Amino acid sequence: MKTKSMIGITLTRSPIGRSYKQKDIVRGLGLKKLNQMVIRKDTPEIRGMVAKIPHLVVVQEMQKK
């Protein structure tokens, strides 16, 4: 069985005072509260969203069977 890689994304800084584009990206990732962690598939689309807001989030690599 092939393992699919996943990433954990944690919101560590508030999007208050940031541009609407950055706020929309945070919301698009499913993050609503500080220190909330969501697990998403490691796709180029998700990586691109995270690359736009590296100052607001922390990313952890995970492996899922």
> What is the predicted pLDDT for the residue at 1?
45
Residue 3: closest CA among 59, 47, 63: 63
Do 6 and 50 contact (CB within 8 A), yes or no? no
| 27-52 pLDDT, tens digit each | 999 999 999 999 999 999 999 999 99
Tell me the CA distances in angstroms from 61 to 9, 15, 65, one per residue in order.
9, 23, 14
Which domains, and CATH codes, for the chain?
A: 4-64 (3.30.1390.20)
pLDDT reading at 54 higher than 70: yes
Taking the model in full, what pTM does it have? 0.88
